[in-house]
Structure 1
Amino acid sequence: MAEQDVVDLLTAQHQQISTLLEQLRSGREDRQELFTELVRLLAVHESAEEEVVHPIAKRARFGAEEIVDARLDEENHAKRALAELYDLGVDHPDFASKIADLADAVADHAAHEEAEEFVLLRRQYSASQLEHLAGSVRAAEAVAPTRPHPHTGSSAAANLIAGPPLALFDRMRDAVRDWRSHS
């Protein structure tokens, strides 16, 4: 059986993100827990895409740079919206409308990524290369920040330089938060 490739990995994560957003929009009781998971998943997903996937996709063929740049712009908007939601908190009166806006933007972004950028990857790279990229994405996610940091930039270089210290800080905050919630 073949290993999961990068397109399948990221598409599965898009589905997880979509499910979390839908659950948040439904007004469930455990929305703080759902939102915390959404923030973590989106932050590590986007960081890994910016660090690994987008630079590779830009090399796919002529015109790929425009496609990737459009996705990076969408991701920057999503980071700012997610950071704003994080600051507001799930109990804020504007949370429901803002999470709905974010859900719509994320769905559009994922659809564009899957229809354009992922198609470029499948056309340009072999199955073994795409499987190897999945491993690179998993490695990047393991050391990625768990919160949005919209002011750090979206380039691979920015993620490589700022990502590890921010990830360490974020993971320490996560550990304290988890400890407090269980104490």
Structure 2
Amino acid sequence: MTLSIAEQSIQDLGGEASVLARQRRDHAELDRLMNRYESGTRSRAERAQTLKEIVQLTFSHAFAEEVVLWPALRRLAPDGEELTSRVEEEHQEISDLVAEIERTDPDDPRHDRLVGQAFALIRQDIRDEEDLLLPRLQEALDRAGLRRLGSTWETVRRTAPTRPHPGVPRRPPGNAVAGVPLSAVDRVRDLLPSGIRVPNGSKVAGAAAAVLAAWLIAAAARRRH
């Protein structure tokens, strides 16, 4: 079994452009941000900004995994379905928790408890990915394949939704179709100052679901002809 990617050199991971190296950089940044939030040395405004950055990185990162990496792992590894289902469940739990955090006032006693639960899940998700899922991709792909996958993953991540959307499917094509309008809404919300509470993208998600349904009906009709 391949070592955890946490224990390997950049060269072992396939170079800086490899999807493994890109994933590990994001994980390290998330860990740094969570530690900063938990340090207790920041003002309320700084903590709100740090939490906003954690949320943005968490969901853009996870969306790109679900659109690009986990479908590849299901194709390439015999146990890919089992492994990706486990992490998708973690992603759903994180999405549910962060959506609840966004509905909770920072002065509410539940707020810090919910944040702590979300951070614990994010850290568990990182361990599972670095110890289990990403090593399986490493076993299945050569260095060139890891770099190509890394480029695709990075492109999707940079245009992905940046907020929790618990009702959106975790797998293609549903997540990919919904991701386009949700990303636009999220990135407008991201321009607002930290701490400003605005309605979530549920209406946009509903519209995206309608688009997906129409797409599936059209695709089925094309297959019949």
For residues 88-103 of structure 1, the aligned pairs below 5 Å read: 88-103=104-119
Q: Does 1:23 align with 2:36?
A: yes
Give the Cα–Cα distance (whole angstroms) in 1 for the partners of residues 106 and 22 of structure 2: 29
Partner residue in 2 for 1:76: 92
- Following TM superposition, where does structure 1 have runs of at least 4 consecutive aligned residues deviating by more than 6 angstroms? none
Kept after mapping to 2: 8 A contact 1:80/1:150: yes
User: What residue ranges of structure 1 are gaps of 5+ in the alignment?
Assistant: none
> Hey, what does 2:75 align to over in structure 1?
59
Q: What one-letter code is carried by the residue in structure 1 that aligns with 2:28?
A: Q
Equivalent residue in structure 1 for 2:62, among 27, 32, 46: 46
Q: Which amino acid aligns with 2:74?
A: K
Q: 1:6 aligns with which of 1, 7, 19?
A: 19
Cα-Cα RMSD:
2.0
Matched residues, number: 180
Q: Name the stretch that deviates more: 141-150 or 22-31.
A: 22-31
Identical aligned pairs, as a percentage? 26
Q: Identify, as 1 or 2, the structure richer in helix.
A: 1
C-alpha distance after superposition, 1:123-168 (max 9, x if no partner): 0001111111111111111221111111112112122100010011
The CA deviation at 1:89 is: 4.1
Please give the alpha-carbon distance, in whole angstroms, between the structure 2 residues aligned to 1:89 and 1:26: 20
More moved, 135-144 vs 21-30: 21-30
Residue 149 of structure 1 is matched in structure 2 by: 165
Aligned-partner SS, 1:152:
coil
CA pair 72-136 structure 1, distance change in 2 beyond 3 A: same
Q: State the shift of 1:114 in Å.
A: 0.8
**1:84, distance to aligned residue in structure 2 (A):** 1.1
Q: Offset of 1:60 from its aligned partner?
A: 2.2
Question: By how many angstroms is 1:90 displaced?
Answer: 3.4
Question: Distance between the aligned counterparts of 1:91 and 1:60, measured in 2?
Answer: 47
Greater relative contact order: 1 or 2 (C-alpha under 8 angstroms, separation 6 or more)?
1
Q: TM-score, normalised by structure 2?
A: 0.75
Decide whether the 8 Å contact of 1:5 with 1:132 is kept in 2: yes
Matches of 2:53 and 2:24 in 1, distance apart? 17
Q: Normalising by the residue count of structure 1, what TM-score does the alignment of the two structures yield?
A: 0.91
Whether the aligned pair in 1 keeps the contact of 2:17 and 2:151 (CA below 8 Å) is: no
Structure 2: state its 5+ residue gaps: 1-10, 197-225
